Amino acid sequence: MADHEIRVLDESNFRAAHTLFRGALHSGPATDERWEQIKASYDPGRAFGAFQGDEMVGTAQSWPALLAVPGGAEVPAAAVSRVGVRADWTRRGVLSALMRRQFQSCREAGEVVSVLRASEAVIYGRFGYGVASRGRQLKVDRHRVALAPSDGTGGRIRLVDLDTATAVAPEVYAKAGLSRPGMTSRWPAWWLMNLDRGLRYDNARMAVHSGADGDDGFVVYVVKGGMEEPHGKSVLTVEDLVATTPEVWAELWRFVFRVDVVDEVIGELRPLDEPLEWLVADRRVVKVTDVEDETWLRLLDVPAALAARRYAAAEPVVLQVRDRYLPDNDGSYRITPDGVERTTAAADLVLDVDLLAATYLGDVSFTELAQAGRVDVVDGAALARADALFATGRAPWSGTYF
């Protein structure tokens, strides 16, 4: 019998859960002032604690969101976060128990998928999460930036205060829409914990672009170093950049490169196919310094997830999916451009559910996975068919860190 039990948390223990989570990541507890802001971000019924008696030893929670999938549908998703187990309780199955309980409750809530950002890449694969989108880190020597010729947008960019930022950003985000696979809706607490916190406490700035139809894009950035540290490098980090059109996207980046007293511009977890190199005259000023996993995706309901996305024109393929944690997902699925059905037909390719998640938004091909020995190939010709069916036009990307 387990030496701990999982319970749903309520207001009386949200703060203890938050302190436990921060402690697991080696941070101190939130101050009273910060807690006033943070407590609103705990959704009743969605946070769990692992307890031995009255003592909490682990926690995990999630927010309800929507995930854009290939073809444009938006599926109910659990955005999982604040996962932590006390250092003196790790490797005793606490996270495993929390995950099982969370899967059950998300499925009861009708959530088709779950998404998270992982502190370490070795944690979540065993629970059926796969890396479904990645981002690249960019570093640009601002002094060497010469912008490629452009007519601009004819719009205007203005720096805004916290109140305006709080009003404008969610509206612009909604206007821009979940325009590529992997994007998620942003829940109220996300804005609070990111935009509000950044502008209020972390010296972040927000610049809003407006055109003929009003506000249509914004960038949030923070500058560190420079004047505060004599002889130090002044580094501008783009934290968030949302645009309703490609022209506005380009204009916001041009704005970023024009901010004075900046030596270096950094973009974290930017889309793999963001064409920043084409915005500048000398493409070598845009250095890709890292490529990291972004979205870890768990298909909670495989039939519903497979049915929600669209497939490109290609001959059908039969995928056999293995799911150790949620065995009712186990089985074979015949995938065609017209849809998906469970089948008893012989499988062409056999793979675990975390690897299906990795292919789901288009981040990796079946051929690549097979090359690495991660897919059992029954029929070699099926790899090209599966790649073609799952192909998407754009690199998947979320852009929402939580």
Ligand X SMILES: CC(C)(COP(=O)(O)OP(=O)(O)OC[C@H]1O[C@@H](n2cnc3c(N)ncnc32)[C@H](O)[C@@H]1OP(=O)(O)O)[C@@H](O)C(=O)NCCC(=O)NCCS
Contacts of 230 (CB under 8 A, 6+ apart): none
CB of 247 to ligand X, least distance (A): 37
- Side chain identity at residue 242, one-letter code: V
Selected catalytic residue, list 21, 48, 124, 390: 124
CB of 120 to ligand X, least distance (A): 5
Contacts of 152 (CB under 8 A, 6+ apart): 251, 254
Residue the block writes with tokens 């402690």: 23
Q: Is the CB of 115 or the CB of 169 nearer to ligand X? A: 115
Contacts of 157 (CB under 8 A, 6+ apart): 207, 208, 209, 210, 251, 252, 255
The DSSP annotation for 341-365 comes to: EEE-SPPSEEEEHHHHHHHHTTSS-
Dist CA 247 CA 152 (whole Å): 8
- Per the DSSP assignment, residues forming a β-bridge with 234 are 225
Dist CA 398 CA 283 (whole Å): 25
Q: Is there a contact between 376 and 272 (Cβ–Cβ < 8 Å)?
A: no
CB of 97 to ligand X, least distance (A): 7
CB of 13 to ligand X, least distance (A): 17
Query: Is 92 annotated in some ligand binding site?
Result: yes
Query: Is 94 annotated in some ligand binding site?
Result: yes
Q: Is the CB of 83 or the CB of 138 nearer to ligand X? A: 83
Phi and psi based region of residue 189 (left: phi greater than 0; alpha: psi -120 to 50; beta: remaining) = alpha
Q: Is there a contact between 299 and 357 (Cβ–Cβ < 8 Å)?
A: yes
Query: Is 324 annotated in some ligand binding site?
Result: no
Phi and psi based region of residue 225 (left: phi greater than 0; alpha: psi -120 to 50; beta: remaining) = left
- The verdict on whether 402 is a catalytic residue reads yes
Query: Is 84 annotated in some ligand binding site?
Result: yes
Q: Is the CB of 92 or the CB of 310 nearer to ligand X? A: 92
- Per the DSSP assignment, residues forming a β-bridge with 322 are 352
CB of 308 to ligand X, least distance (A): 25
Q: Is the CB of 24 or the CB of 78 nearer to ligand X? A: 24
Tokens of 236: 């501008």
Query: Is 85 annotated in some ligand binding site?
Result: yes
The DSSP annotation for 291-357 comes to: EEE--EEEESSHHHHHHHS---S---EEEEEE-SSSGGG-EEEEEETTEEEEE-SPPSEEEEHHHHH
Q: Is the CB of 119 or the CB of 371 nearer to ligand X? A: 119
- Side chain identity at residue 301, one-letter code: D
**Which residues sit at the interface with ligand X, rule CB under 6 A?**
24-25, 58, 83-85, 90-96, 118-120, 122-123, 126
Q: Is the CB of 20 or the CB of 382 nearer to ligand X? A: 20
DSSP code for 43:
P
CB of 287 to ligand X, least distance (A): 28
Query: Is 93 annotated in some ligand binding site?
Result: yes
Q: Is the CB of 390 or the CB of 402 nearer to ligand X? A: 402
Query: Is 259 annotated in some ligand binding site?
Result: no
- The verdict on whether 42 is a catalytic residue reads no
Query: Is 119 annotated in some ligand binding site?
Result: yes
CB of 90 to ligand X, least distance (A): 3
Residue set of the binding site for acetyl-CoA: 83-85, 91-96, 119-120
Which residues carry a binding-site annotation? 83-85, 91-96, 119-120
Catalogue the active-site residues. Answer: 124, 402
